[in-house]
Amino acid sequence: MANRLWGLTRRQTVLAFATAIAIGIIVAVLTTRSDSTPSPGTGIARVAAGAPGPRQAVWVFGFQTLRFDARLRHAQHLPFTGFGSVQGSDGRVYMYDAGTGRVGVIESARNTRTVLGTIPGGRPQDDTFAPVIAPTASALWIASAPGELTRFDLGSRRADAPIRLTDAGATSQATGVVATPGAVVAVTRDATGLGITRVDPSTHVIGATEHVELTEPFTLDGIAADEEHLWIVAGGSVFDVDPGTLTVTRRVRIVGQDSGGVRGAALVADTLWVLAENGASIGRLDVATGRVDRVVRVLTTTPAAFRTPASLVSDGTRIWAMVQRNGARDDHAVRLVGYDPGRRAATTGIDLPSALFAGAAAAS
């Protein structure tokens, strides 16, 4: 186990793991439809490491590793666990644990987990929806600590020296990173706002930089990018940034939502998707008005506050959300729901039990 398991302290992790062993994690899938009562489900099939499987999958990581197809069917249990932050990309799920420095990969087509190497000197960060890993063809760009970016070469399986992103020094509080077609862009939350840094993936040299002043308390709640836009969700607003110049072309305040009630960012079908209503729904964010249109109801009632751990993930054409089902301190049951904008169809939801301690999801 890592020092922290998706938000649990080391002591909480040990106690939870002991509890899971004591009761035995017998995972069953309960299928639900929006605003309905769960119906009886089935056990999850066990799959041996190395057994062939489809490249595309939806993954849930906790004390066990589970995989589903895009419509959340054909549930399978794999004989290995994930660790740290996870990021799916083209048939793989990459992992990085700042506490131990481990970097790893799950190969979907072979159902294997491999530890690729380590990055020394990392530090954990608390902004759950700030993406920590940005995969490119030859390397992983990893926010190894707040204010630092480390390139991990997939060929040599070695880490370069960390790149210091901002002049904020010790005031850097969290960093997220995404890869665009021509660059790697990191966003750092510090004591005075957001530092945005563009890095050339070929030369590893910092190019453009920008700083956005934010005075109110805030967290870095989502980053997504394509060729024309870098979208940042933070401080109750969505920022539209030119990925080439890093110029902030507009800041639109998100309306009709509690403070901190919108998290995550995924670009699908030229639309920015978020977890809204404190995680109760998957919503379409209108970047012109700041309005969030509810598309999929995830929870039957809206929580008083956003519950973590939670995930919003995408494979570029579809979206999946995993949220905590209730706010009880010792209940870690989650609900997993997907949406296909092309088909305008939601999946039947999947409920997973508290003993699983599901902490993160990914789409490969």
Average pLDDT on 81-97 reads 97
User: Tens digit of pLDDT for each residue in 324-353?
Assistant: 999 898 999 999 999 999 999 999 899 999
Average pLDDT on 80-106 reads 97
Supply the pLDDT for residue 42. Answer: 57
- pLDDT surpasses 60 at 10: no
Choice among 93-97, 122-126, 280-284, 296-300 with the minimum mean pLDDT: 122-126
- pLDDT surpasses 80 at 24: no
| Phi, psi dihedrals of residue 170, rounded to the nearest 5° | -70, -10
Q: Report the distance separating Cα 103 and Cα 96, nearest Å.
A: 5
- pLDDT surpasses 60 at 91: yes
The pLDDT confidence band at residue 172, using thresholds 50, 70 and 90, is: confident
The more confident residue out of 315 and 40 is 315
Round the average pLDDT of the chain to a whole number and report it. Answer: 89
Of 299, 309, 304, the residue nearest 357 (C-alpha):
309
What is the number of alpha carbons within 13 Å of residue 151 lying toward its C-beta?
23
- pLDDT surpasses 70 at 22: no
* Residue located via tokens 């793989």: 92
Choice among 30-34, 232-236, 270-274, 349-353 with the minimum mean pLDDT: 30-34
What is the number of alpha carbons within 13 Å of residue 327 lying toward its C-beta?
10
Percent of the chain with pLDDT over 90: 78
The pLDDT confidence band at residue 216, using thresholds 50, 70 and 90, is: confident
Please give the structure tokens belonging to residue 200.
């050339």
Q: Report the distance separating Cα 335 and Cα 55, nearest Å.
A: 23
Average pLDDT on 273-289 reads 97
Please give the structure tokens belonging to residue 275.
């977890």
Percent of the chain with pLDDT over 70: 87
The pLDDT confidence band at residue 181, using thresholds 50, 70 and 90, is: confident
Average pLDDT on 151-176 reads 88
- pLDDT surpasses 90 at 183: yes
Spatial contact of 74 and 68, defined as CB atoms under 8 Å apart:
yes
3-state secondary structure of 169: helix
- pLDDT surpasses 80 at 59: yes
Supply the pLDDT for residue 336. Answer: 98
- pLDDT surpasses 50 at 70: yes
- pLDDT surpasses 90 at 154: yes
Average pLDDT on 50-77 reads 96
DSSP 100-134: T-EEEEEETTTTEEEEEEE-TT------TTS--EE
Spatial contact of 31 and 39, defined as CB atoms under 8 Å apart:
yes
The pLDDT confidence band at residue 33, using thresholds 50, 70 and 90, is: low
Spatial contact of 184 and 201, defined as CB atoms under 8 Å apart:
yes
- pLDDT surpasses 70 at 88: yes
pTM as predicted: 0.91
The pLDDT confidence band at residue 184, using thresholds 50, 70 and 90, is: very high
Supply the pLDDT for residue 203. Answer: 92
Average pLDDT on 212-218 reads 86
Please give the structure tokens belonging to residue 312.
């919003």
Supply the pLDDT for residue 167. Answer: 65
